[in-house]
């Protein structure tokens, strides 16, 4: 059973989905949640799910100092896999090289299209027919790491950002748990930029 940590800044629906799915996969358990914003809904979601959670506020701290607090917290809880779920900070190359275990992220588009903020609005503004959700390994770029799972979602001509986001979020919740299960079972190999599922 692999121990998963989740870092988040917002409402925490992906944390809720990961926690809800862990019983059916039984390959991982969400053991710790870190938020960088005190008012983040993710802390309530963690409390409701009975998951150990801490807020490590990032405001006013240099990135290196904030990251070293996170690394300490994660080391203290023996984490095997780190999941970013709406974590609004880019991890530094130092953090990634020091962590030395898989780091995953969920993104609300079919990467490499529409990286960064407001991916759903970017898709609507671009007039694409399809967008979707992507789970990828985190590397030193912004939403650039090797892709584990993706699933397309139709974009309707009259979609609002909220409507498209809700449609994508349903998919996010399912594929993030599937991806964490794959990584927890070691059922993948990364060759260059390609993730082979075993
Ligand atoms: C999700 O859309 C995720 O793809 C993006 O941030 C959002 C987080 O939502 N990275 P939640 O906090 O998990 O509900």
Q: What is the pLDDT of residue 63?
A: 95
Calculate how far, in angstroms, residue 169's C-alpha sits from the geometric centre of ligand 1: 7
| E-assigned strand segments in the chain | 2-8, 28-35, 53-55, 81-84, 103-107, 130-137, 147-154, 188-191, 194-197
**Active-site annotation holds for 107:** yes
Sorted by sequence, the CB contacts under 8 Å of residue 31 that are 6+ apart come out as: 3, 4, 5, 51, 52, 77, 78, 79
For 9-24, write each residue's pLDDT tens digit. Answer: 999 999 999 999 999 9
Q: What is the pLDDT of residue 160?
A: 98
Identify the active-site residue in 66, 107, 136, 173.
Answer: 107
pTM over 0.85, yes/no? yes
Mean pLDDT of the chain: 97
Q: Which residue out of 9, 13, 136 has the highest number of ligand 1 atoms within 8 Å of its CB and is therefore the one to mutate? A: 13
pLDDT along the chain (198 residues), means of 10: 98 98 96 98 98 97 96 93 96 95 98 98 98 97 96 98 98 98 98 96
Q: What is the pLDDT of residue 129?
A: 98
Ligand 1 within 6 A of CB of 12 = yes
């Amino acid at each position: 059973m692999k121990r998963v940590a989740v870092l988040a800044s917002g409402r925490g629906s992906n944390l809720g989905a990961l926690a809800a799915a862990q019983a059916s996969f039984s390959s991982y358990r969400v053991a710790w949640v870190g938020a960088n914003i005190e008012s983040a809904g993710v802390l309530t979601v963690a409390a409701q799910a009975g998951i150990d959670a801490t807020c490590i506020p990032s405001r006013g701290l240099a990135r290196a100092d904030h990251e070293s607090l996170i690394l300490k917290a994660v080391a203290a809880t023996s984490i095997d896999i780190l999941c970013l779920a709406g974590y609004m900070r880019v991890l530094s190359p130092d953090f990634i090289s020091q962590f030395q275990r898989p780091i995953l992220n969920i993104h609300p588009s079919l990467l490499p299209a529409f990286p960064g903020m407001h991916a759903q609005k970017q898709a609507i503004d671009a007039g694409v027919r399809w967008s979707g959700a992507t789970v990828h390994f985190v590397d030193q770029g912004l939403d650039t790491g090797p892709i584990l799972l993706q699933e397309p979602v139709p974009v309707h001509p009259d979609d609002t950002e909220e409507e498209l986001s809700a449609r994508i979020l349903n998919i996010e919740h399912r594929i993030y748990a599937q991806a964490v299960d794959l990584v927890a079972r070691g059922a993948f190999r990364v060759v260059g930029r390609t993730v082979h599922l075993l």
